[in-house]
Structure 1
Amino acid sequence: MSEPSISVVVLTYNRMAQLIDTLMRLRALPERPPIVVADNGSTDDTVHRVAMLFPDVTIVQCGANLGAGGRNLAVDCVRTDYVAFCDDDTWWKPGSLAHAVRLLDAYPQVGILNARIEVGEARETDPISTLMQHSPLDATGLPGPSLVGYMAGASVMRTAMFLQIGGYDARYFIGGEEERVALDVLAAGHAIVYCAACAIAHHPSPLRDSALRRRMLARNAAWTAWQRLAVSDACRATARAIECFRKEGTLWQDGFALLRGLRWALRERRRVPERVAAMLAEVRLDARAPHRESLRSELPQRQV
């Protein structure tokens, strides 16, 4: 048999039952990809159970909850050209990884593919996927709609590119951690593409803190804006974050954390090229169109 071209990295923390189900589905894929689990310091016997049930799965023990940064340690173990990401409550559908490999082989300018997300037993297409399908950006020469962002747990990347840009920043923890990575990928000259033919199933775990996720999304968006975008964009993102903290009753705690993080965010500031800023502006303008309002109203429920 030929050597595999793609591996799967699964991020997990204290969701052993969901992880075991996901690993069973991933092992049954016809592509038979190598699987690497990044365990963010689980305390529910995850590591022992996975090692016992799936001896062929590589387990990376992060030693603590690094959030999205745990994926970096897992990718260090990847030996294939491409790496697909999922979480412990998502899994790739049969044939999707093989299709992703064919596209990435054929289109070297593409750095990231974002899969179509099917939610729950009803397999409804997530509204985020629908928005991506109707991206307003020019997709000439690309195998699908051009994007300025992607979903970390439903993406396929070039392994070398991921390592070159440095992966995810552990200081972001989790929630919108993809935004800065996406900007750096675009700035480096790679494209991000939506691929409806690649599908990932998402059965959202009930073990999640929605309020914390909302606050992390707001904080991380502000940090990313100060690191990569215009000052006006950064000020608006900061104002939105402060308003989020106020509504959640965590203004002092989260506001202080946001301001403290600005020290390193400004120190590492590097504006994206004008062509990337123009892409962002086009997407924002399209988002304000009347035909987008009903669809976007569904996003907060799906993003937590």
Structure 2
Amino acid sequence: MKNGARVTVVVASRNRVRALTRSLPLHPRPVILVDNGSSDGTAGFVRRHFPDVHVVEAGRNLGAPARNIGVQIAETPYVAFADDDSWWAPGALERAADVLDAHPRLAVLGARVLVGQEERLDAVSELMRDSPLGVEPDLPGPSVLGFLACGAVVRTEAFLAAGGFDDVIFLFGEEERLAVDLAAQGWGLAYVDDVVAHHHPSPAKDSRGRQALAARNAVLTAVLRRPWRVVARRSFDALRGGAAGRKGLRTAVRRLPRALAERHALPVSVERARRTLERTGG
């Protein structure tokens, strides 16, 4: 472990150098920045102004799988993800490492993510906190089958064994497939309320595009792991989602061959837990 550190912060960024100027000083070291093909001079700027940050240039936009590169390079047992506009509260990663040390089956620790200056609890954190899956005896909080990447600390070994994030999904909603695959391998995922991350997102510039991406990835994630009735339901939801939903469904079709090539069913217990969460809005 580098300098005795137990957690490496991995940031994937593209053309957000101004946001990084604010967030990078707030990350405890070590930090790995994976630059996703930026055209704004991100890599050079960070090397000049933050020489203690390990910069990796992906050369092109890899989407969420850029984080996999950072995890592969990390020399610590745990990795905390951050976006270019998010950071971890002081002491949060030490606390996360203690929790992970004490719970060897825990693969993903979902943190309490506070949004904006008003520190509003993120909706996903709220769902995880109120998870209907209960608390398993060997886990530190409510069991979950999803997480926010910018508010998650992962066990390096488990993350890599599950294949990390995949380029079928690419970006936006990429956590669901990884979460269910980790659970299928017997790992635990849990929400821990006293580990805190901050997220100050910029206002969405292309809400229609994000809606289309969400619809596309909901369908593709179902194709990758869920029963065909779930694929049908999510496809129907996309069709009912207006122009953005229909666009998402069209773009999902283009990625369908790759999704089908990687499709396999989840264990019955994991699929049952996923259905429980869907019934309760999780």
For residues 174-213 of structure 1, the aligned pairs below 5 Å read 174-206=171-203, 208-213=205-210
Alignment of 1:109 onto 2:108: no
- 2:151 equivalent in structure 1: 154
2:240 is paired with a residue whose SS is helix
Amino acid at match of 1:126: D
2:65 is paired with a residue whose SS is helix
Alignment of 1:278 onto 2:272: yes
- 1:121 equivalent in structure 2: 117
2:254 is paired with a residue whose SS is helix
1:36 is paired with a residue whose SS is strand
Amino acid at match of 1:11: A
Q: What per-residue deviation string (whole Å, max 9, x for no partner) do you get for residues 168-194 of structure 1? A: 112322110111101101101011101
1:210 and 1:195 map into 2 onto residues whose CA distance is 30
Alignment of 1:263 onto 2:257: yes
2:196 is paired with a residue whose SS is strand
| Structure 2 unmatched ranges of 5 or more | none
Please state how far the C-alpha of 1:282 moved relative to its aligned partner: 1.5
- 2:16 equivalent in structure 1: 15
- 1:231 equivalent in structure 2: 228
Runs of 4+ in structure 1 off by over 4 angstroms are none
Amino acid at match of 2:181: D
TM-score, normalized by length of structure 2? 0.94
Amino acid at match of 2:56: V
| Structure 1 unmatched ranges of 5 or more | 27-31, 288-295, 297-304
- 1:4 equivalent in structure 2: 5
CA contact (8 A) 1:69 1:173 kept: yes
Amino acid at match of 1:51: R
Q: What per-residue deviation string (whole Å, max 9, x for no partner) do you get for residues 59-106 of structure 1? A: 111111111011112212111000000100000001110111011111
CA contact (8 A) 2:124 2:147 kept: no
- 1:218 equivalent in structure 2: 215
Please state how far the C-alpha of 1:126 moved relative to its aligned partner: 1.7
**Equivalent residue for 2:70, pick from 54, 70, 74:** 74
Q: How many aligned positions are there?
A: 280
> Which segment is superposed worse, 94-103 or 214-223?
214-223
Amino acid at match of 2:82: C
Please state how far the C-alpha of 1:247 moved relative to its aligned partner: 2.5
Alignment of 1:165 onto 2:162: yes
- 1:138 equivalent in structure 2: 134
1:172 is paired with a residue whose SS is coil
1:278 and 1:171 map into 2 onto residues whose CA distance is 24
Please state how far the C-alpha of 1:285 moved relative to its aligned partner: 2.2
2:234 and 2:187 map into 1 onto residues whose CA distance is 25
1:120 and 1:260 map into 2 onto residues whose CA distance is 36
Identity of aligned residues (%): 39
Amino acid at match of 1:5: R
Please state how far the C-alpha of 1:160 moved relative to its aligned partner: 1.2
Amino acid at match of 2:156: T
**What is the root-mean-square deviation of aligned Cα atoms in Å?**
1.7
Alignment of 1:25 onto 2:26: yes
Please state how far the C-alpha of 1:254 moved relative to its aligned partner: 4.2
> Which segment is superposed worse, 132-141 or 97-106?
132-141
TM-score, normalized by length of structure 1? 0.88
Q: What per-residue deviation string (whole Å, max 9, x for no partner) do you get for residues 196-236 of structure 1? A: 11111111123643222221111111111111111101111
Please state how far the C-alpha of 1:257 moved relative to its aligned partner: 2.5
Amino acid at match of 1:107: H
1:283 and 1:257 map into 2 onto residues whose CA distance is 27
CA contact (8 A) 1:18 1:205 kept: no
